[in-house]
Structure 1
Amino acid sequence: MLGNIARCTLAQAARSGTSNFIRHARGLSSRAEVVSGRFSPLLLAATVSAAGLTLSAVPAAAVPIDYAAVKKDIAQVIEADAAKRGDGTSLAGTLVRLAWHASGTYCKSAGNGGSAGATMRFEPEKSWGANAGLGPARAALEPIKAKYPGISYADLWTLAGSVAIEEMGGPSIKWRPGRLDSHKPTTVPDGRLPDADKQDIGKTIDHIRAVFGRMGFSDREMVALIGAHAVGRCHTDASGYWGPWTLAETTFSNDLFRQLVEGGPWTVKRTHEGKPWNGPLQFEDPSGKLMMLPSDMALIWDKDFRKLCEEYAKDEDRFFADFSAAWTKLLELGVPVFNQSTSLTFAAMFRRVFDLFGLGN
C-alpha cells in the first residue's frame, strides 16, 4: 500500500519538478513509518540529499543514530566473540571481508554495484562462492541492527569492517553514513569479486588489475587493499584454502608484505597435517604454518606490484595511510550521496532511487 502511494505521489512530483517533490515528501514523511523498511523519513531525507536539495526541506522525524554508540557495540561484539572462541582467532577479519565483499561489486563503467543496497542479504548474491563463510558475520551484527533500527545494513556492514580494522590496531578510518538498503536482489553478475587463482601467473596478475581497475583503483591502491590479508585466515569449509597469512592474524599490520618480501621461501603446499594436500593451489612457508594464495604471490611476481610490496614492508605508516584512503574509497563507490554527478538529471536520480527500493515497474 505504502509502496503504491509513494510510487504514484513521488513519481508525479518528479515529473512536475523539485518544489512538488518537496511538498509531497513532506506529506509522505508523516505516514512513512518503516513498513518493511521501504520508505521512512530517513529515506526521504536521503533522497532529497541525493537530488542535491536542502535536507531541512524534510522534517527531522527520524530518530538520530548515535554512531559512536554503534561503534562501541560493534567492538563489544568482536570482543565477546573472541572470548567465546578462546583460541586466538577473531570475527574481526571476517567483518573486514564482509565490508569488502559488499562493496567490491562496483563497476565504474556500468555505474552499478557497490555497498549501497546491502544486496548480499538476498539470493543469489549471498550464495556466491566468493561470499562463502560470511553468513556468521552478518548474523553477528543482527542484534546491533535490532538495537538501532534506523541504521541501514549497508552502513552497518561497512562501519563494522572499519571498526574491526581499528580494533585490530590498524589505521584510523574515515567513515560516513548515507547508504540506503535495497529490497530487491542485486542486478550485477557474479564474478566481480577477485578470484584467488586463475591457473596461470600472468592471468592471475591480469585478473587483479582487471577486478580492481574496474572499480577505478590504481596499482598502489590495489596492493594496499590486498594488504588486509594480514588479518584473518582461510577455512577449508568456506574457500577450500587453509591457514593464516601471518602469525598475528588479529593484528592489522604490514606483516603480509614483510612475509612476502622477507619470509619464505614460498613453495607449493603438498601436505597437510601429515597427509597429502588435496585442496586448491596455495603456497606455504618452511614451517607450514603460514600460507599465501596465488593472488598474494602475484604481488611479488609482478615487478610493479613488488616495488610497492617492498615499500610497504619497510614503511608501515605509508601502508596505513594508503590503505585507509583506499578503504574509504572502496566503501563509498557507487553510493549516490557520496558520488553525485552534475550530469545526473532529477528524473534519473528518481529512477535510481525507485529501482533501489523496488518501486519501479
Structure 2
Amino acid sequence: MKNIENPEGLEKCPFRGTRIGGAIGTAPRTDDWWPNRLQVELLHQEQPVSNPLSDEDYKTAFNNIDFKQLKQDIKEVLIDSKDWWPADYKNYGPQMIRMAWHSAGTYRIADGRGGAAQGMQRFAPINSWWDNGNIDKSRRLIWPIKKKYGAALSWADLIVLTGNCSLEIMNFPTFGFAGGRRDAWEPDRSTYWGPEFWNGKPYDESPTGGNHLGHPEEMVNENLRWVGGPKEDYHDLENPLAATHSNLIYVNPEGPGGNMDPVDSARNIRESFKRMAMDDEETVALIAGGHAFGKSHGAVPADKIGAAPEAASIEAQGFGWHNPVGTGNAEYTSTNGIEGSWTPNPTNWDNDYLINLFKFDWEQKKSPAGAGQWTPINPDAPKTPDAHIDGKMDDLMMMTSDIALKVDPAYRKVCEKFMSDFDYFTNAFAKAWFKLTHRDMGPKDRYLGPEVPQEDLLWQDPVPACNHELVTDLDIADLKNQILASDLSVSALVSAAWSSAAVYRHSDKRGGANGARIALEPQNNWEMNRPTELNQVLDTLKEIQSKFNSNQSGDKQISLADLIVLGGCTAIEKAANDAGTHVQVPFTPGRMDTTQELTDVESFDWLKPVSDGFRNYHNDKVGYRVSTERIFLDKAQLLNLSAPEWTVLTGGLRVLDQNFDHSKHGVFTERPGQLTNDFFQVLTSMDYEWVPKSSSKLLFDIKNRENGEAKYTATRCDLIFGSNSQLRNIAEVYAADDGQERFVHDFVKAWDKVMMADRYDVKDD
C-alpha cells in the first residue's frame, strides 16, 4: 500500500482502507458525524440475543430456591474476612449495605429510571462513578453466592438481599424482602445522568489540579446539576435528575461543591431525596439508619488512586481504583475521601448516631485524603475502635450532610422524635429501607419469595385484588353494543382509553389502566387528557357499568377500569371497519378500580408528561434543552415500544384524531376517525413539500407542490417519521399499496401491548 504523509500522527487501521485518529477504535462514529441524529436504536436495547439466560423461567427458578439456606450462605460470607480485601471490624455488613443502597439509590421519581431492578450497578457508567468507589470489591466478595445459585438468583436480587442480610447480622429487624428483579445484560445507553465531565478517574490530571472528588476546580460548579449554576444561584435540579453532582448517588457529603455549609447541604439533601421519592422523615431515617453502621474511608489522597473499573488495565480484570499505598486496603482504604466512623459500635444497631450528633459540638477538620469532615470538640466524646488496628481508638466523624440534619429545623424535629422513641425510629428506617430497595419494582404482583410483607404501602400504588367473576365473551359483546349505542365518538373513546393506559412507564412499572386512576386526581384533570371530554366519557361508561352490574346474578361484575379499555377497543374496531378492514381487538378483563385514598396525588403527579408526542402535547411553559422528537423517543421508550410499534401507533392515533387539543397537526386524512394508513401515505408522498411556519421550526405547513396550497399542518413529532431514515423506512411499509391491512393489524397489536402494559397479574415479566 502506498505510504502517505501523516502530520497529525494518525495511526493506520489494521483493516484495509481506513485510518483512525489515535488509538484503535477512536475513529469518528455516526453520532460524531451527525450529532442531531435521533437515536431510534435506543428503543431496541436488551434484545434476547444479549441475554444468555433468555430461556430461563426466573420466577419459577427463584421460587424453588431454599430461601432460608440462601440467607444463611450470605450471612456466612459476611463474617468471613478475606486477605485480599479485609473486612472493616471483621464484618462485611456495612460495606454491603452501601452496595445495596447505591444500587437502589440511583432511582428517580421524575422518569422512574435508575434503581436496583436490573443490577445496572454492574455496568458503566454507574460501576465507575467515584461515589461507587470499591463497590467492585463488594460484588466480588459475594460472587461465591452467585456462583452457587446461578440462573436462579439474579445479581439484582442478590445485591439487595445481601444488604438485608447485612442489616440482620447487625441486629436490625428488616421489614421484608421481595425478589423478582431480572438482570440487564448490557449497559443502559439511554438514561441521562447529567453532565459527565469527569473522565472516570478519581483525579483529573489537568494543570489546574483537582479536588478530592476528582473534578478540576474550575469544573466544580459545572458538575453541580442545579439549573441555576453556581451554588449562590441554584434553585432547582435539572429535570429529571436527582443526584446533585456528577458521579454521586445523592449529594456531596462535604456540602455543595465541597463548601462544608450544613444549611446549603440540607437544601441539597431535601431536593435530592424528594426527587428520589422520599419525604423528610424517610430521608432522616435513611441517613441516620445507614450511618449507624460502618465507616467512611479517606486514608489516601485521590490523586494516588488508580483508574475506575471501566478505565482500568486489562489485567485488573474489572477491578478499579487501585491503591498503591501500603497494602492498598484495610487501614489504607480510600473511597469518598472522608475518614472515620459515626458511632462507637459500628456493627450494631443502636441510636448512638443521633445521640452523638446532638449531644456534642462539632468542628471542621480535614481527612488524611484532604476531604472536609467534622470531629467532636468535647473532650468527653466517646471514641470508636479502629476498623483494622487492634487496640487503636479513633475520633468520631460526621459529614457536612450529617450536621445538616442538626441545623435544619424540619430535619431536627424528626431527629428529636427518633431520639425520644427508638422503636419508632427502627420501624421508620425499616420501612424507608424497604421502599428504597423496592421502589422501582412496580406492583406487588411482581414480588417473589417468602418474605414479601403483607402490608400494602401507599407508594406501591395499591389496586384491590379482583374479587368478582369476570365477564364472558357474550357479556363483552353486549357491552360493546351498549358503548356503540351511546353518543360517544370514536375519538373520545380512544382518547379515554389511551390516556388511562399510556401513562404507564416501564422503567419503574408505574401507571397504566389498572385501577382506573384516570377517574381520580391528579390524572383526571391533566390538560393532555382532554378533561372535559374525558369526564363525559367516564360518566357515560359509569352508567353502562351500573346498569350491567345491577342486572347480573352472582359475583359477575365489570370494573370501570375494564370498561374504559373496552371502550377504546370497541372504537378501534369500528374505526377499522369503517375504513374497510375487519379486525377484532383483544380485550383481557380483570382490572380493578382503586380509590382516591389509595392514590398518592403528589407521587402520581410526577407521571404527568411535560411533552407527549403521541398526542402532540408540548407544555410551552417548560424550558426545553432537547428537541420535541427526542422527548417523544423517550416517551416511546418508557412505554417499552419498538420502533415499528412507536411508528404505527403514532400514525394510527393521528388519523383517529387524538391530538390533546383537537388540533389538526399531523391529521393527514380526509376521513378522521377511520383507521387508515393515510398518515403514512401523505408523509411519504412527493406531491407535497414541508415548509416551516417560523424560524423555530416547531410547526410546518404541508403544501401541494403544484398550487402551493397548504393542505395540512404538522409538528416535529409528525415529520420525524419521514425525516429519520430508520423511521421513514418503517413508514414506507405502511404507506405502500399493500400496507393498509398490515397497518391495522400492527396497530391493534401495539395498542393491546399498551393496554396490557401493567397487567402483571396475568403476565410474566
* Partner amino acid, structure 1, of 2:293: V
Q: Normalized per residue, which structure has more helix?
A: 1
- Structure 1: gaps spanning 5 or more residues: 1-31, 46-59
Task: Name the CA shift for 1:346/1:38 in 2 (closer, same or farther; >3 Å).
Answer: farther
Partner of 1:189: 193
Deviations 1:54-79 (A, max 9, x none): xxxxxx57771222211111110012
Q: Please, which of 357, 363, 366 is the counterpart of residue 267 of structure 1?
A: 363
The 3-state SS of whatever aligns with 2:95 is helix
Task: Name the CA shift for 1:112/1:87 in 2 (closer, same or farther; >3 Å).
Answer: closer
Distance 1:278 1:86 in 2: 21
Within the alignment, does 1:320 sit opposite 2:414 as a pair? no
Partner of 2:292: 230
- Structure 2: gaps spanning 5 or more residues: 1-47, 195-241, 244-248, 299-333, 378-382, 384-393, 445-459, 464-499, 510-635, 644-765
Partner of 1:71: 71
The 3-state SS of whatever aligns with 2:118 is coil
Within the alignment, does 1:219 sit opposite 2:280 as a pair? yes
Partner of 1:5: none
Distance 1:223 1:63 in 2: 34
* TM-score, normalization by structure 1: 0.76
Distance 1:88 1:348 in 2: 43
Distance 1:325 1:331 in 2: 10
Partner of 2:14: none
Deviations 1:14-36 (A, max 9, x none): xxxxxxxxxxxxxxxxxx9x962
Partner of 2:313: none
Number of residue pairs matched by the alignment: 306
CA contact 1:74–1:160 (8 Å) conserved in 2: yes
Q: Please, which of 368, 372, 386 is the counterpart of residue 281 of structure 1?
A: 372
Distance 1:324 1:347 in 2: 28
Distance 2:369 2:113 in 1: 38
Deviations 1:81-115 (A, max 9, x none): 28995873421001111111111111112121111
Within the alignment, does 1:251 sit opposite 2:307 as a pair? no
Give matches, 1:303-318, under 5 Å: 303-318=409-424
Shift of 1:265: 1.7
Shift of 1:163: 0.9
Partner of 1:20: none
Shift of 1:285: 1.7
Partner of 1:108: 109
* TM-score, normalization by structure 2: 0.37
Partner of 1:25: none
Task: Name the CA shift for 1:176/1:283 in 2 (closer, same or farther; >3 Å).
Answer: same
Deviations 1:316-347 (A, max 9, x none): 21111000011111111111354579855699
Give matches, 1:279-358, under 5 Å: 279-286=370-377, 289-338=395-444, 343-344=500-501
Distance 1:39 1:118 in 2: 19
Greater shift, 150-159 or 179-188, is seen at 179-188
Distance 1:266 1:171 in 2: 31
Distance 1:219 1:61 in 2: 39
Give matches, 1:45-60, under 5 Å: 60=60
Distance 1:141 1:86 in 2: 13
* Partner amino acid, structure 1, of 2:363: T
Distance 1:137 1:162 in 2: 14
Deviations 1:185-243 (A, max 9, x none): 23251673222121233321111111110121110000000011011101111111101
Deviations 1:275-315 (A, max 9, x none): xx561110012466110000011000101111111222232
Task: Name the CA shift for 1:282/1:62 in 2 (closer, same or farther; >3 Å).
Answer: closer
Distance 1:61 1:230 in 2: 35
CA contact 2:342–2:396 (8 Å) conserved in 1: yes
Task: Name the CA shift for 1:87/1:112 in 2 (closer, same or farther; >3 Å).
Answer: closer
Q: Please, which of 48, 53, 68 is the counterpart of residue 37 of structure 1?
A: 53
CA contact 1:89–1:250 (8 Å) conserved in 2: no
* Partner amino acid, structure 2, of 1:77: V
Task: Name the CA shift for 1:250/1:167 in 2 (closer, same or farther; >3 Å).
Answer: same
CA contact 1:82–1:88 (8 Å) conserved in 2: no
The 3-state SS of whatever aligns with 2:355 is helix
Distance 2:61 2:297 in 1: 45
Partner of 1:137: 138
Partner of 1:148: 149
Distance 2:427 2:120 in 1: 30
Distance 2:90 2:51 in 1: 39
Identity %: 32
Q: Which has the higher contact order (CA 8 A, sep 6+)?
A: 1
CA contact 2:112–2:505 (8 Å) conserved in 1: no
The 3-state SS of whatever aligns with 2:344 is coil
Task: Name the CA shift for 1:305/1:87 in 2 (closer, same or farther; >3 Å).
Answer: closer
Distance 2:280 2:163 in 1: 22
CA contact 2:295–2:342 (8 Å) conserved in 1: yes
The 3-state SS of whatever aligns with 2:81 is helix
* Partner amino acid, structure 2, of 1:146: K
Distance 2:66 2:637 in 1: 29
Q: Which has the larger radius of gyration?
A: 2
Distance 2:111 2:132 in 1: 22
Task: Name the CA shift for 1:169/1:119 in 2 (closer, same or farther; >3 Å).
Answer: same
Give matches, 1:80-119, under 5 Å: 80-81=80-81, 85=86, 88-119=89-120
* Partner amino acid, structure 1, of 2:345: A
* Partner amino acid, structure 1, of 2:271: A
Greater shift, 293-302 or 250-259, is seen at 250-259
CA contact 1:115–1:154 (8 Å) conserved in 2: yes
Give matches, 1:154-165, under 5 Å: 154-165=156-167
